[in-house]
C-alpha cells in the first residue's frame, strides 16, 4: 500500500502500536563492512590499542544556518543554549508537547549562526518541520544517510578512539594537538587536509571524531591506515560498532513520541508515509496496545539532569509538572551467563528453541523493548542487548523503577505468541533471563571518565 504521510498510514492501518510490531524493517543499519578482521578483536581495539570507526554513512546530517539558528534550537531543545556557538558540541534533546522524547542528536557548532546536527533521522526531521512551518530566519540543508541517499555524502566522518589514539592523532597532525575540553572542537591536519574535530569519550577511551569534505576522505583514511600500523590500529566494522553505544551507556533510539496527540498531527501529516518513523519497527517481549506506553521521558534515559528551565521550549510546561514525580532510571543489566547459555543450547537440543541471540548485537527491530520484572512485578524495560568480548558478558541497557544496584531482576527474552511476523523473527518460545542491576556506563574506564 502507498501512504501519503505517516498520518495517512495511521488512518488506514489503525493503531500504530499494533502494526509497528510487524513492520518488516529490522535493526538500524550500519552500511559499512560488517567485519574487517573479526568483531571480537575489533571490540578490543578501543580498550587495548586504537580503533578507526567510519561514521560517514549511517547518520543523517542537517545543517541549519541563519540569524535565528540558536533561537530555533533553544525552542526545540530542553537543554540550555547559553554561551553556545562556534567550536562547541552539544547533545540536543527534543521532546513533544507532553514532555516525552522525540530523540537526541549531536550538535556541532560550525559558526555562531551555523550548526551541523548529526544522528538518527528523528530529531533532524522534527527540526526541519519546525523550521519550515515557523517564523525563523534560517535555511536548512539536509545530507541524508547513505541508505536513503544515492549521492555521495557531503563529508566523511571518522573517529579514532583507544589508549593509542592520541599519539596516533599527533603523528597524523605532524605535531602536538592542544587537547580540547569535553565536547569542544578543534582542528587537525591529516594527509595535508584540514579537518574539524570534536573531543568526547567513546566508552571512556581518549580520541577525536573528525570530518572534512567527502572527496578528501580516501586520502585521510589511507594516511590513518599507514600511520596506525605501529599503534595496533584496527578498523572497526558494523558488527562491533553496533555495541559501542550500549557499552558507553547511550540508548540511541527511543521510540519517537509522535504517533498520538493532536499537537503532533500536523507533524505526522508532514512526515512521509514510508519514511523512518513510518517504518520504526518495535520488537521484544513488552507489548501494549497503547502506543504511549512505549514513550520515554527524559528521566528514563538520565536526561532529566540536562533539562534547563531557563528558556521556553516545546514540552516545558509538561516537564515542569513531571519534575517531582517518581521516575525510572537508566542502568546496565549484566545477563546471567547460565541463562544466556541455555538460550543458545535450545538451538541445539530437541524441543522448542528460544529466540536466537545474534552476536554481538541481539536486537532485531529498530526499537527493542523487553519487559523487566522483580519479584513477578514489572519494573521497566530492557533494550539493545549486546555481547562484549572484552568482559565476556551479555549486557543491555534498561530503564527501571524500584530497583537498587546489585539487585537481581528478570528479563523476558523473546516475543509472545511464538513471535511477530517481522522477517527477522523465527518461531520461538520466551525465556526468562536473570540479570544484575549495575551502573551505566558498563565500562570501568568510561565510569571513571564520567566521574571526572
**3-class SS at 358?**
coil
Amino acid 452: pLDDT: 58
Do 7 and 278 form a contact (C-beta atoms < 8 A)? no
Q: Which parts of the chain sit beneath pLDDT 70?
A: 202-204, 445-452
pLDDT digits (tens, 9 = 90+) for 15-43: 999 999 999 999 998 999 999 999 999 99
User: CA 23, CA 277: separation in Å to the nearest integer?
Assistant: 11
The CATH classification of domain 39-58+151-236, taken from the options 3.90.600.10, 3.30.1360.120, 1.10.10.10, 3.30.390.10: 3.30.1360.120
Does the N-terminal peptide bond of residue 107 adopt cis geometry, omega within 30 degrees of 0?
no
- Could you tell me the pTM of the whole model? 0.96
pLDDT score, position 63: 98
Strand-pair category, 50-54 with 233-236: parallel
Q: Where are the domains of the chain?
A: 39-58+151-236, 329-451
Fold match flag (39-58+151-236 vs 329-451): no
pLDDT at 202: 67
- Predicted pLDDT at 450: 56
Question: Domain 329-451 carries which CATH code?
Answer: 2.40.30.110
**Cell, residue 237:** 566494522
Report the Cα 97 to chain-centroid distance in Å: 22
Q: Where are the beta strands (DSSP E) in 214-283?
A: 233-236, 282-283
What is the predicted pLDDT for the residue at 410? 98
Cis omega before residue 360 (within 30°)?
Answer: yes
Q: Are 222 and 191 in contact (CB under 8 A)?
A: yes
Residue 351 has a pLDDT of: 87
Residue 270: burial class (beta carbons within 10 Å; 0-12, 13-18, 19+): middle
Residues 6 or more apart whose Cβ sits within 8 Å of residue 442:
246, 247, 249, 332, 334, 388, 391, 395
Q: How far apart are CA 282 and CA 275, in angstroms?
A: 15
Predicted confidence at residue 179, as pLDDT, reads 86
Residue count of the chain, please give it. Answer: 452
Nearest-angstrom CA–CA distance, 265 and 140: 23
pLDDT at 1: 82
Amino acid at each position: 500500500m502507498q501512504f501519503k504521510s505517516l498520518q495517512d498510514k495511521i488512518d488506514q492501518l489503525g493503531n500504530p502500536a499494533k502494526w509497528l510490531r510487524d513492520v518488516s524493517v529490522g535493526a538500524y543499519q550500519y552500511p559499512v563492512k560488517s567485519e574487517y578482521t573479526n568483531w571480537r578483536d575489533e571490540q578490543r581495539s578501543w580498550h587495548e590499542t586504537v580503533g578507526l570507526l567510519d561514521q560517514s554513512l549511517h547518520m543523517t546530517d542537517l545543517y541549519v544556518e541563519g540569524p535565528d539558528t540558536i533561537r530555533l534550537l533553544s525552542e526545540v531543545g530542553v537543554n540550555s543554549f547559553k554561551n553556545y556557538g562556534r567550536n562547541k558540541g552539544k547533545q540536543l534533546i527534543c521532546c513533544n508537547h507532553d514532555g516525552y522524547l522525540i530523540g537526541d542528536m549531536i550538535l556541532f557548532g560550525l559558526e555562531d549562526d551555523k550548526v551541523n546536527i548529526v544522528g538518527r533521522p528523528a530529531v533532524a526531521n522534527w527540526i526541519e518541520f519546525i523550521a519550515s512551518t515557523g517564523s525563523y530566519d534560517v535555511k536548512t540543508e539536509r545530507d541524508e544517510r547513505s541508505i536513503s541517499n544515492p549521492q555521495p555524502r557531503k563529508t566523511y566522518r571518522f573517529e579514532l578512539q583507544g589508549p593509542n589514539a592520541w599519539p596516533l592523532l599527533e603523528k597524523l597532525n605532524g605535531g602536538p594537538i592542544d587537547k580540547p575540553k569535553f565536547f569542544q572542537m578543534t582542528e587537525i591536519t591529516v594527509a595535508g587536509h584540514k579537518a574539524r574535530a570534536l573531543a568526547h569519550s567513546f566508552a571512556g577511551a581518549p580520541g577525536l571524531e573528525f570530518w572534512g569534505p567527502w572527496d578528501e576522505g580516501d586520502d585521510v583514511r589511507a594516511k590513518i591506515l599507514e600511520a596506525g600500523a605501529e599503534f595496533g590500529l584496527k578498523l572497526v566494522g558494523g558488527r562491533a560498532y553496533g555495541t559501542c553505544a550500549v557499552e558507553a551507556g547511550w540508548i540511541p533510539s527511543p521510540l519517537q513520541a509522535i504517533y498520538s496527540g493532536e499537537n503532533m498531527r500536523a507533524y505526522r501529516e508532514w512526515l512521509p508515509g514510508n519514511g523512518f518513523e513510518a517504518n520504526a519497527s518495535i520488537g521484544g517481549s513488552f507489548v501494549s496496545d497503547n502506543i504511549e506506553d512505549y514513550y520515554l521521558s527524559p528521566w528514563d534515559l538520565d536526561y532529566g539532569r540536562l533539562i534547563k528551565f531557563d528558556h521556553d521550549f516545546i514540552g516545558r510546561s509538561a516537564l515542569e509538572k513531571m519534575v517531582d514525580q517518581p521516575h525510572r532510571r537508566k542502568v546496565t543489566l549484566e545477563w546471567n551467563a547460565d541463562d544466556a547459555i541455555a538460550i543458545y543450547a535450545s538451538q541445539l537440543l530437541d524441543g522448542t528453541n528460544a529466540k536466537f541471540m545474534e552476536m554481538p548485537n541481539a536486537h532485531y527491530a529498530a526499537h527493542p523493548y523487553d519487559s523487566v520484572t522483580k519479584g513477578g512485578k514489572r519494573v521497566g524495560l530492557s533494550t539493545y542487548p549486546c555481547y562484549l568480548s572484552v568482559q565476556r558478558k551479555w549486557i543491555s541497557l534498561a530503564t527501571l523503577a524500584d530497583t537498587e544496584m546489585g539487585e537481581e531482576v528478570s528479563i523476558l527474552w523473546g516475543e509472545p505468541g511464538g513471535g511477530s511476523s517481522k522477517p527477522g523473527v523465527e518461531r520461538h518460545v520466551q525465556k526468562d533471563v536473570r540479570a544484575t542491576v549495575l551502573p551505566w556506563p558498563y565500562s570501568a574506564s568510561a565510569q571513571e571518565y564520567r566521574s571526572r
